[in-house]
Amino acid sequence: MHSSTGYTPHHAHYGSERDRWAKLSYAPPPSQTISLEISAVHEGGSRKKGGRGTPFGSICKGKKDIDAQIDAPGLIKIALNTVYPKIQSFCPAFQWQYEEFVIRDSQWVDLLGHHAREPYFYSQCIQAGRKGLKSPIFKTKQFALMVVVPESQWHEYEEWTERAEEDEATRQAPVATTAISEASVDVFQGGDYLATEVPLPEVPLKRTHLRTASSLSSTSSSTSPPLKKAASANIFQSPNRNELKEALRSGGIANVDAQSVYDLQNENVQLYWIATRPMSEILENSKYQSFTLHTAESATGQLTVDTSSANLIGRGGFKTAHPGWLTLTSHIPTTGLGSILHQKVVVKRPFIKIFPPNGPSAGTYKVGHYAVADELSKQFKEANVLYWANSLLDLTYAFINRCVAASSNPPPFEIPHLRFIHAGLTLSFLPGQMIVAKPGAKPCSVRAAFLLEELIPGGPDAFMKFIHNTDCDPLLDPGEDGYSTALFLAFTQHVQYEKTGGLAYISDYQGV
């Protein structure tokens, strides 16, 4: 076609363009298509069980109307063309080695290992036909592909990022310059030690001893003071390289003891203190004749229990004792249980023995817990016993004090001053949830009942039993450490028995 008036050189391609568009008009898109979700991940760093890659940069792109007959090389090309520009935008300054990227499916299969010209996902879209139809049915699906940055290249990226941040911080760090006259500075340097004395401005925080410029200039001697005075100034010493190397090696391989964290059980609790009331008050007021749960006299807080068997304090015939930490958030007392934050306590809880199917003869059992209603009843009885024991011991000391006051001479021996441990009944709640404490009972939010006791210092080695619960004589022999205390406790039993008319006394004394 020759150019003429009204036409441009582009009209010369009219014939070839017409043929190309005619072919496209008779080539409809494939009727069987799939969609893809393509994301970017890197190897390493996944802490989830079964996790194989860690997403980064929120890079995820969807593609639809993909020919279901597409093979692995075609999928690799689509994945790289879709995600690589986004990885490049994620950190343009880093030299990404895209030839090292690996394309994997949701099962972490490397697509590069599959043959070309074989449909990769097509078989997963074929389903058996309905009843009466022999031919299978194609059903479109969405499949996931991941562009995976190898772990070695990701480590290179992280190291590069750290260096870049350090360089940036170095460039932006302000440089402080101070004009100091020669006469006002004494500097002594030897090896790794550097001591300086510089005039400092007054700071209205607290009184400190400073050597000022005027005191330095008041001396007539121009020589520097002796080196011995440098010890009073700030001294810098470089760290020992071998020690630093060992510390870095040890710190680098350190990891969190995950199991020790999993064994910690956190509870929202309400604490009811077990008070000490004089026997006279108990007898005069009927509401004091047993331990009670008065909400107005309680406190709320947090309890952390270490449930691990390795740190178990003890397990008796019917209750366990675990270490715990108590922090109250309301009505914090000045002394006793809950008076300090994160106070170490002993957490006691009754248990039932769950034996294997072959019976108790196997010698092993699992620790189970009672229903909440039964557990609360048992813990309340334990708290009530301690409540009365406090009162009986208080009655004993009231009798002793009266006898000492009535005597003209002081006792010829030292009277031990003993007390029971500070303790309280604690209820654990499930906020906003209701549970059935016992079959047939009304739902409540109480999850468990714990008996909290202050932790006795000294541990098991310092703990001893003074009097058995079936005998009134001391368990210890004369001359043994603690015998005098055991003898005194035997005396308290006689006082309690006599003063209550044989109705009550404290047995099974043990402690430190």
Greater confidence (251 vs 292) lies with 292
Average pLDDT, stretch 479-503? Answer: 91
Query: Pick the residue with more confidence: 104 or 459?
Result: 104
Count other Cβ atoms within 10 Å, centred on residue 464. 17
Q: Are 123 and 115 in contact (CB under 8 A)?
A: no
Please indicate, yes or no, whether residues 277 and 289 belong to a single structural domain of this protein.
yes
Beta strands 142-149; 33-42: pairing state: parallel
pLDDT at 47 over 50: no
The 10s digit of each residue's pLDDT in 128-176 is: 766 656 678 888 999 999 999 999 999 999 889 888 888 887 776 554 4
Q: Which of 91-95, 227-231, 363-367 shows the lowest per-residue confidence on average (mean pLDDT)?
A: 227-231
What band does 204 get if pLDDT is binned at 50, 70 and 90?
very low
Q: Is residue 184 part of a domain?
A: no
What is the pLDDT, as a whole number, of residue 173?
A: 59
The residues pairing with 446 across neighbouring beta strands, listed in sequence order, are 429
Instruction: Encode burial over 429-445: b for 16+ CB neighbours within 10 A, e otherwise.
Output: beeeeeeebeeeeeebb
| Res 214: pLDDT | 37
- In angstroms and rounded to an integer, the radius of gyration of the C-alpha atoms of the chain is 41
Rounded average pLDDT over 248-272: 82
Instruction: Check whether residue 476 and residue 433 sit in a common domain.
Output: no
Note the pLDDT of residue 179: 42
> How much of the chain exceeds pLDDT 90, in percent?
37
Q: How many CB atoms lie within 10 A of CB 227?
A: 11
Residue 19 covered by a domain: no
Please give the tally of structural domains in the chain: 3
Q: Kindly tell me if the per-residue pLDDT of 186 is higher than 50.
A: no
Are both 301 and 152 inside the same structural domain?
A: no
Is residue 220 assigned to a domain?
no
C-alpha to C-alpha distances, 144 to 11, 180, 317, nearest whole angstrom? 46, 67, 57
DSSP state letter for 275:
-
pLDDT for position 24: 54
Q: Are 322 and 313 in contact (CB under 8 A)?
A: yes
Question: Is residue 450 in a domain?
Answer: yes
In this structure, is residue 240 part of a structural domain?
Answer: no
pLDDT band for position 198 (cuts 50, 70, 90): very low
Lowest average pLDDT, out of 5-9, 120-124, 408-412, goes to 5-9
Residues 278 and 425 in one domain: yes
Q: What is the pLDDT of residue 479?
A: 85
- For the four alpha carbons of 414, 415, 417 and 418, in that order, the dihedral sign comes to positive
Task: Tokens 């005069």: give the residue.
Answer: 284
**pLDDT at residue number 210:** 35
Give whole-number Cα distances, 176 to 173, 179, 196, 221, in Å: 9, 10, 17, 31
Identify whether residues 423 and 473 lie together within a single domain: no
Averaged over 351-359, what is the pLDDT? Answer: 79
More confidently predicted of 462 and 232: 462
Phi, psi (rounded to 5 degrees) for 346 = -105, 125
- Give the pLDDT of residue 471: 78
- CATH (domain of 85): 3.10.20
What SS3 state is found at 6? coil
Burial of 427 (0-12, 13-18, 19+ CB in 10 A): buried
Domain for residue 329, yes or no?
A: yes
Query: Is 356 domain-assigned?
Result: yes
What pLDDT digit, counting tens, does each position of 412-451 carry? 888 999 999 899 999 998 876 665 556 666 677 888 999 9
Distance CA 203, CA 20 (A): 85
Of 434, 455, 476, the residue at which a domain comes to its end is: 455
Burial class of residue 304, CB neighbours in 10 A (0-12, 13-18, 19+): middle
User: Does residue 209 have a pLDDT over 60?
Assistant: no
Same domain, 313 and 426: yes
510 and 372 in one domain? Answer: no
Structure-block tokens of residue 426: 């604690």
**Structural domain of residue 314, as residue ranges?**
261-455
Q: Enter the tokens of residue 367.
A: 């620790």
The chain-wide mean pLDDT, for the chain, equals 79
* Nearest Cα to Cα of residue 40 among 22, 29, 31, 53: 53
108 plus 58 within the same structural domain: yes
Based on the fold, state whether residues 271 and 328 are members of the same structural domain.
yes
What pLDDT, on the 0 to 100 scale, is given for residue 491? 93
Let me know whether 372 and 508 are in one domain: no
Same domain, yes or no: 279 and 378: yes
166 within a domain of the structure (yes/no)? no
One-letter identity of residue 264? L
pLDDT for res 402: 92
To the question of pTM greater than 0.75 for the whole model, the response is no
Does 481 lie in the same domain as 405?
no
